Chains A and B, each alone.
Chain A
Amino acid sequence: MNKLSVDNLIGIKNLKKQDIDLIFKTADHFKEIINRPIKKVPSLRDITIANLFFENSTRTRLSFELAEKRLSADIVNFSAAQSSVKKGETLIDTANNILSMKVDIIVMRHPNEGAADFLSKNVDARIINAGDGAHEHPTQALLDSFSIREKLGTVKGKKIAIIGDILHSRVALSNIFALKLQGAEIKLCGPKTLIPKYITKLGVAYESSLEKVLEWCDVANVLRVQHERMDIKYFPSVREYTQLYGINKKILNAINKDIVIMHPGPINRGVELTSDVADSKQAIILNQVENGVAIRMAVIYLLAQQIKR
């Protein structure tokens, strides 16, 4: 297979295993390129990409922008803070306005679940979901799996713990879909208040104890608590959260193996991870960032291939 089975990247839910394999194969190639002295390829010289960020983002936006530039695409950036969205313009109108300027691909982050899907049904461009509410963040899940594959050789059969705020996390959901598709085993861990009631029906297990889940896993993907999505405190204090679910060296030293520590960023140092863990050799957090560019280059490149030119 040398072509994706989808026209847009809305969620991992819509992908097949072969799509992921193809994206990884392509990303391998781009990763090699971005480590050359001349990091740029002319592949997308005639493609224009709009980055629409209706929600704050630093690393994802930079990562996409860098990926687009490395592919030589023309880009326009748009963020809600400086846009007419605040003046009451609808999402369709904003997107259509940008499309009238002949944009081929839209990369969008939006606070509402389903926004990327909505856009794909209403505007004529390839859509890449850069995070829609608590729904999906497909490129993050792809780069996470890619990083696991790079570190451990394969994702299949690996034991992955996802720890933290699962309820409000698009990263968790996309990771679950991606890891299941590749045959990994998954356990979720975190305060019960932050675990969706029906999540185990997705074929994942829940483990309440941080120590037990760390002992079990090969990889711990640690998530941030998303205070901004909460209408009420789901636990009494950050201090108490850290007591129950913060990972520190002492806990890691107590288990008999070197597990891989991942984090999609931004890290709240001293809350979910102590600095000595985040900066340790076990942590592949910065590899994730580097792989993010390669993965996004691959996704953009593969979707752009499908545009008739």
Chain B
Amino acid sequence: MNILLKSVKIIDKSSAYHHQVKDVLIKNGIITNISDKISKPNNCKEITLNNLHISNGWFDTSVSFGEPGFEERENIEHGLEVAAKSGFTAVAVNPNTNPVIDHKSAVEFLMNKAISNAVDLYPIGNLTQHAEGKELAEFFDMQNSGAIAFGDYNKAINNANLLKIALLYAQNFDGLVMSFPQEKTTSTLGFVNESLNSTKLGLNSIPALAEELQIVRDLFLLEYTNGKLHIPTISTAKSVKLIKEAKKKGLKVSCSVTAHHLVLTDDELKGFDTNYKVLPPLRSLKDNKALIKGVKDGTVDMVTSDHNPIDIENKKVELENALYGTIGLESIFGSIQPVLGLDIAIDSLTEKPRAIFGLSKLKIAKGEIANLTLFDPEMEYTFTKENILSNSNNSAFLGKNLKGKVYGIYSNKKLVLR
């Protein structure tokens, strides 16, 4: 399909047209012209949308789609549609499925589900067999099949020696190892942040200490092995500090933060609302601020929604019995843009995560592949159930005021609009 995007503001700092308003012509998936005024050629669809901005297509590095095993929460086909309509042209899907993604054929199953989709799906393989944290999975084999990184989602690798071996072994084929930051023995029964709030509510907690202990351990292992490590979804101020120091030392470490950890705190738990039960747990305002600063100064490499649809049967229960997770694809842009600013928000969803996870570099320029997100960064609205596209409604952002709305994507020669 040939597309003419009329008067769009281009947000791509690597492009010569950064922050300029242009017409953009896409023919057969390639950007063929960017000019002030382009008249509509034959066989071309013209798109005019209010305050239309485009950036390189967004990439979310932590998304769960339920399939296989939890199709009542979400499935891949619909999940990818949610991603597309939320502005994402690529997603890395977590191996928190049943069965887990710990071998080549499971990776291939996921890849096959996304063939010829507008959104590129990149599986994350389990680092350990059956996600049990005991034996390494065949992650070279999985990488050859299309997996882009290896970790057991939000299950920490308790065995330090196993992580050490993984960090060494991955160097033979430039694999990306992920280690979830939670030291288990200091947080065995916990499920919310340790704070005045957890004290008032009498809830068992996961202290910031649990995360920081694990990160310290992992950074020591990283230094020892000279490997490459990604720490997903950090949540505390001290974690930012530890990673900043490690990067300064030259360690090959990257990390992400979720949108909810940038803007929500554990104050939300006062009504025992299970939509705020996430892992890592929501922390304090001080942590929010440090994480935002971390994204701005480059310590935190990327923002993820950690999109995790959970069915009502596992959310409309007592807080302790509820499963962790919030959906987030639909709300991520509108929630992070007000605190990060437009350029940094886009950066945290495009260039840096793509580089770290080994995806091709994108650029908005003539002759480049069109892999674009279409949005209006100014639109303000209150996020309600009507804004949810997912099959599950467990959003921590219900009732929150957001700024920035997504129109859709153009990717893989397909235009998907909301």
The reply to whether chain A is a binding partner of chain B is yes
Taking A135-B201, A173-B202 as contacts, is the C-beta distance between A91 and B189 under 8 angstroms?
Answer: no
Is B176 engaged at the interface, CB distance under 8 Å to the other chain? Answer: no
- With a cutoff of 8 Å between Cβ atoms, the chain B residues found around residue A231 in the complex are 188-189
> Within 8 Å CB of A170, what residues of B?
202
Nearest Cβ on chain A to B323's Cβ, whole angstroms = 14
Within 8 A of A (CB), among B198-222: 198-204, 207
Does B199 contact A199, Cβ atoms closer than 8 Å? yes
Q: Is the CB of B202 within 8 A of A113?
A: yes
Does B272 count as interface, using CB distance less than 8 angstroms?
A: yes
Would you call A91 and B317 a contact (CB within 8 A)?
yes
Q: Does B385 contact A (CB under 8 A)?
A: no
**In-complex Cβ contact of B271 among A92, A117, A202, A232 (8 A):** A117
Closest to A136 in B: B202
- In-complex Cβ contact of B200 among A91, A112, A173 (8 A): A173
CA distance A110 to B202 in the complex (A): 13
The answer to whether A114 touches B272, judged by C-beta atoms less than 8 angstroms apart, is: yes
Number of interface residues of B (CB under 8 A): 22
Report chain B residues within 8 Å CB of A136. Answer: 202
**Contact between chains at A196 and B199 (CB < 8 Å):** yes
Contact A201 B201 (CB under 8 A): no
Name the B residues within 8 Å of A197 (CB-CB): 194, 199, 207
Q: Are A113 and B199 in contact (CB under 8 A)?
A: no
Q: Are A91 and B194 in contact, with the CB atoms below 8 A?
A: no
Residue of B nearest to A119 (CB): B318
Complex contact A13–B319 (CB within 8 A):
no
Kindly identify, within residues 117 to 151 of chain A, every residue whose CB is under 8 Å from any CB belonging to chain B: 117-118, 122, 132-136
Knowing A134-B203, A135-B201, A201-B199 are in contact, say whether A112-B188 is a contact too (CB < 8 A).
no
Q: Please, what's the 1-or-0 string for A171-190, where 1 marks a CB less than 8 Å from any CB in chain B?
A: 00100000000000000000
Given known pairs A198-B194, A199-B199, A201-B196, the reply for A117 and B320 (CB within 8 Å) is: no
Instruction: Write out the residue numbers on chain A whose beta carbons fall within 8 Å of the beta carbon of B194.
Output: 197-198
- Across the interface, do B203 and A113 meet the contact criterion of CB distance under 8 Å? yes
Q: How far is the CB of B35 from chain A (nearest CB, A)?
A: 57
Say whether A113 contacts B196, CB under 8 Å. no
CB–CB A202/B202 < 8 A: no
Task: Assess whether A115 is in contact with B318, with CB atoms less than 8 Å apart.
Answer: yes
Q: Binding site of A, secondary structure by majority: helix, strand, loop or mixed?
A: mixed
Minimum C-beta distance from B281 to chain A (A):
14
**A144 vs chain B, min Cβ distance (A):** 17
Contacting residues, chain A, for B204 (C-beta < 8 A):
134
Question: Distance in Å from the Cβ of B221 to the closest Cβ of chain A?
Answer: 26
Within 8 Å of chain A (Cβ to Cβ): is B40?
no
Chain B stretch 309-332: residues in CB contact (< 8 A) with chain A? 313, 316-321
The proximity string for A residues 199-216 relative to B, scoring 1 for CB distances below 8 Å and 0 otherwise, is 101100000000000000
Please report the C-alpha to C-alpha distance between residue A203 and residue B297 in the assembled complex, in whole angstroms: 38
Provide the bound-state CA to CA distance between A113 and B192, in Å: 12
Q: In the complex the two chains form, is A114's CB within 8 Å of B199's CB? A: no
Q: In the bound complex, do residue B272 and residue A202 qualify as a contact, i.e. CB atoms below 8 Å apart?
A: no
Interface of B is mostly: loop
Closest to B203 in A: A113
Which of A92, A136, A197 has the most C-beta atoms of chain B within 10 angstroms of its own C-beta?
A: A197
Q: In the complex, which residues of chain A have a beta carbon less than 8 angstroms from the beta carbon of B188?
A: 231-232
A134 touches B200 (CB 8 A): no
Q: Does B145 contact A (CB under 8 A)?
A: no
Q: How many residues of A contact B (CB 8 A)?
A: 27
Cα distance A199–B200 when bound, in Å?
Answer: 8
- Residue B129 lies at the interface, judged by CB distance under 8 Å to chain A: no
A90 contacts the other chain (CB 8 A): yes
Most buried by B among A110, A118, A232: A118
Select B195's contact among A91, A92, A113, A198, beta carbons within 8 Å. A198
* Contact (A112, B320) CB under 8 Å given A117-B271, A117-B272, A198-B194: yes
Minimum CB–CB distance from B373 to chain A (whole Å) comes to 38
Known contacts being A113-B272, A197-B194, A231-B189, is A118 close to B318, with CB within 8 Å?
Answer: yes
Residues of A within 8 A of B203 (CB): 113-114, 133-135
Q: Which residue of B lies closest to A197 (CB)?
A: B194
What's the Cα separation between A173 and B204 when bound, in Å? 14
CA distance A168 to B271 in the complex (A): 20
**Which residues of B lie under 8 Å from residue A232 when comparing CB positions?**
188
For A13, A92, A198, A231, the residue with the greatest tally of chain B CB atoms inside 10 Å of its CB is A198
Contacts of B202 in A (CB 8 A): 113, 132-136, 170, 173
Which B residues are CB-close (under 8 A) to A114? 201, 203, 272, 318-320
Separation of A231 and B185 alpha carbons in the complex (Å): 10
A32 to B319, CA, bound (A): 41
- Please name all residues of chain B whose beta carbon is closer than 8 Å to the beta carbon of A90 when the two chains form the complex: 313, 317
Q: Please measure, in the bound complex, the distance between the C-alpha atom of A196 and the C-alpha atom of B203, giving whole angstroms.
A: 11
1/0 per residue, CB under 8 A from A, across B177-197: the answer is 000000000001100001110
A92 and B316 within 8 A (CB): yes
Q: How far is the CA of A133 from the CA of B202 in the complex (A)?
A: 7
Q: Report the minimal beta-carbon distance from A55 to chain B, rounded to whole angstroms.
A: 12
Residues of chain A contacted by B196 (CB below 8 angstroms):
198, 201-202
CB-CB nearest in chain A for B204: A134
Name A92's closest neighbour in chain B (CB-CB).
B316
Q: Which residues of A contact B201 (CB under 8 A)?
A: 113-114, 135
| Bound complex: CA A65 to CA B317 (Å) | 27
Interface residues of B (CB under 8 A from A): 188-189, 194-196, 198-204, 207, 271-272, 313, 316-321
13 extra A-B contacts, CB within 8 A, seeds A134-B204, A198-B196: A90-B313, A91-B317, A112-B321, A114-B203, A114-B272, A114-B318, A114-B319, A118-B318, A133-B320, A134-B203, A170-B202, A173-B202, A197-B199
Show 6 residue pairs from A and B whose CB-CB distance is below 8 angstroms, ordered by the A residue.
Answer: A90-B313, A112-B319, A117-B271, A134-B204, A202-B199, A231-B189
Across chains A and B, which 8 residue pairs bring their CB atoms closest together, nearest first? A114-B272, A134-B202, A135-B202, A112-B318, A198-B196, A196-B199, A112-B320, A201-B196
